[in-house]
Structure formats: C-alpha cells, structure tokens
Amino acid sequence: MRGQTLTEKILSRASGKTVTPGDIVEVSVDLIGFHDLTGFHIIEVLEGVGYNFLPNPERLVIGFDHLVPPPDVRSAEIQRSIRNFASRSKVLRFHDIGDGILHQILLERYVLPGQVVVGADSHTSTAGALGAFAQGMGATDVAATIITGKTWVSVPQPFKVVLKGFLKEWVTGKDVALEILREFKADYFNGMSVEFYVENAGSLPMDYRATIANMGIEFNADSVIFIPDEETNNFLVRERGYGYEGVLPDMDAEYVDEYVLDLRDVDLLLAAPYSVDNVKSVAEVGGLDVDMVFIGSCTNGRLSDLEIAAKIMKGRKVRTRCVVIPASRKVFNRALELGYIQTLVDAGCVVTFGTCGPCIGGHFGVAGPNEVVVSTSNRNFKGRMGSPDSKTYLSGPSVAAASAVMGKIAGPGDLQ
C-alpha cells in the first residue's frame, strides 16, 4: 500500500477509512470557528431550521474581530445577537471585542496538530501552521457542521514544498509566501494540499509559518499544512504549557510534485496592485510615495512582526500615516512588556488591537481615493482597503516599517 501524506492521514482518521486523493468523504470536525461578520448569517441558518441546541458547543470558537469595536449601530446589533446566541448555547470559547483576531486566537489557544479545523472565513487556513487540516467554508456549510459535527471533504492532490537553509536579515515568512506566489501564480495550487517540510526546524519560527499558511487561500490551495516538528512542539509548550507530537506523513508518501526553496534566495518582496501574485522586488517599486502603512492583520500582526517594526522605527519618526494593530490581546500585552508599543507610539504610529480594521476596508484606517498603501495584510484587490481608486502594496513588516519611516516604498537598507 502506498504511503500516506499528512493530509491523507488526518482525513483518514477523521473519516474512519483510508482515503486517497480525489475521494469525497465525510469527516468528523475537531474545531469550528466563526466571527462577527459571518456569525450572524450562521445563526440565521440555525434558527431558520429550528435548531436552538448545540450538541457539541466545546468544538465551537467564536471571536469578534472584523468590526471591532462596532463602528455603527448595525454592527453593534449583530454582535449583541451573537453574544446572546453564545450565552444560550453555552459556548465557552467565546471571545468578545479586544481578545483578538479569530485566526490568531485559534493558534494561541485551541488548534492542535492532526486536527480537522473549519471556519466561516477563507483564512482559516492559518491553522495549518500547527499541522492541522484547515479549510474555510460558507455560512450554510458551517451551520450544518455545527449541528452534525461533520462535513464533507474532497481529498486534495498532495504537493510537497521543502524549505531549506535560513532567511537573510529582515526577510520573513511573508516574503516566502510572496516568493511562492511569484513562482507559481495564484491559481496553480487549486485542488491541492500544499505540505511544507522545514529542513531546519529553527529556521522558520511559528509566526512565519502562520503567515505562509494564512496566505494559503491566496495560493488558491485547498489547504496548506506544515509538518509538525521541534518548532511546533516548542510553540505548544510556550503557549499552552504542554507539548504534542501530532501525526506525521509516511516516509514513502507520494506527492504529485515537489518544490525545493532555499530560504537564502528569498529577498524582500511586495505584491503590487491589484493581484497577490503581481510580485515585485523593493528595487522595482522603491521610491513610490506612500500615503498610509498598515502593520497588522491575521497575516502579520504577531509579536515577531511588531518586534521588526519596532527595531526599524526605534529613534525614528514616520513620515506618513502608520496604523499598527497587534493580532491579539496576548500579542499586545507582550509587545507592551517588551517596549515595542512605546517605540511605535514614539515613532508616531497609531496603535490599537484586536481588530481586522483596515484590512477589509472596515475602519481604523480606510484608504481614500488615489491613496497608496503599504500593508502587511493578505489581499490587495481593487477596493479591498477602501476606495476602489486606492492602490495597496502587500509586504512583510520590514518593508512596511521602512516605508513608513521614509514616506515612500523602501527597505531597511534604504534608511539613513
């Protein structure tokens, strides 16, 4: 019998039978997540079919993050409705405004290697950083999963990515994700599960893995999953107080193809408007005046991102609007303890926490007409961050912070 990939092993366990790519199977789900923007629709579906009792409320994680704090009456009404639902349904894993972005909360507190995780948001793929099979779904599918504890999955074709070597100074997981998008474009991995093998566990911290997994939907992959290793275990010990070995692929697992990326070859990159795979080097777009910089989101609002931004901004002042949003209360508090928040505030940044904010064109920094934005978020489609006439360049924290200091697109090496 052929060896199984990590994805196949997880789905075999969850379905109770051996699976192969192309199979359509029903799987038991370990974790289900939704936020304020999608939660209202899910509750409508549940109430529409007369379902007022949740059989497994411990599987459900609810987090307010998209419209936080509520910027209008409608948002406040939606959040009140979800609070009431969580209370009467005895959902203990409920996170109100300020706790953080749902995907970061799932990483910090709940996801384990080998689990099946679904959520009513496309960036549920972030959980793949910990070795879980994670997919985003629509509200109706999530509602059905809440009721039954199961969902159907088409077993994806497996693709192997090997990351070897070590990253250069200032280069991060975001640059790795953009390098892969430059190489393969945004539609190549459709129908595939991209499994990442990191040759040197310490070469790619969990924060960087989370960024890459988060961008999995930008790869158009069915799922992105990192093979658990020493870094995975260290993260769980640090964040949860316990280790976890998880499931590993067989040594003779078969993949449709393999891509080896030497991390030493990855440079600082940006995705230019209006596509995530319109990837450019800093040299190609450097010098372009910038109206706003956003450092945050479920992609790059983690502690390492704030550390990099603080290092670059220390003793300097930003020359354009710069909004910084740590991805969770835990990240914010740790950054506060380490002095990063004070450094960013002293540099002239506006700092808040616990919201998606400008990433979705919500609030806390919506882009105006013809404005140029450098953002550490995950999408730069037309109108994504505000005006359809604005232009968003996606980057990692190094380029974003340097661009804020310079007032134009720049890398850390351009600073005086």
Q: Give pLDDT tens digits for 291-336.
A: 999 999 999 999 999 999 999 999 999 999 999 999 999 999 999 9
Instruction: Report the pLDDT value the prediction gives residue 38, as an integer from 0 to 100.
Output: 92
User: Of the candidates 303, 129, 113, 111, which has an alpha carbon nearest to the alpha carbon of residue 209?
Assistant: 129
Distance in angstroms (rounded) separating the CA atoms of residues 338 and 325:
16
The per-residue pLDDT for 250 is 94
Asked whether the predicted pLDDT for residue 140 surpasses 90, the reply is yes
Is the pLDDT reported for residue 1 higher than 80? Answer: no
Structure tokens at 304: 């390492």
Of the chain, the end-to-end C-alpha distance in Å amounts to 60
Q: What gap in Å lies between CA 198 and CA 201, rounded to an integer?
A: 6
Query: If you average pLDDT over every residue of the chain, what do you get?
Result: 95
pLDDT > 70 in the chain, percent: 100
Which domains, and CATH codes, for the chain?
Answer: 6-263 (3.30.499.10), 269-410 (3.30.499.10)
Nearest one of 297, 285, 289, 299 to 323, comparing CA atoms: 297
Which is higher by pLDDT, 114 or 51? 114
Q: Which of 82-86, 161-165, 218-222 has the highest mean pLDDT?
A: 161-165
Going across the sheet that includes 192-198, the strands are 223-226, 192-198, 157-164, 257-262
User: Mean per-residue pLDDT for 251-274?
Assistant: 97
Q: Which of 47-56, 206-215, 332-341 shows the lowest mean pLDDT across its residues?
A: 47-56
pLDDT at 8 over 80: yes
CA-closest candidate to residue 173, choices 79, 268, 102, 104: 268
Q: To the nearest whole percent, how much of the chain has pLDDT over 90?
A: 86
pLDDT value at residue 185: 92
Q: What is the pLDDT of residue 275?
A: 94
Mean pLDDT, residues 35-55 taken together: 87
Q: Taking 80 as the threshold, does the pLDDT of residue 416 lie above it?
A: no
Note the pLDDT of residue 199.
97
Residue 23's pLDDT is 97
pLDDT at 51 exceeding the cut of 80: no
Task: Note the pLDDT of residue 48.
Answer: 87
Whether 228 and 126 have beta carbons less than 8 Å apart is answered as no
Tokens of 305: 């991102």
- Give CA torsion, residues 150, 151, 157, 158, to 10 deg: -40
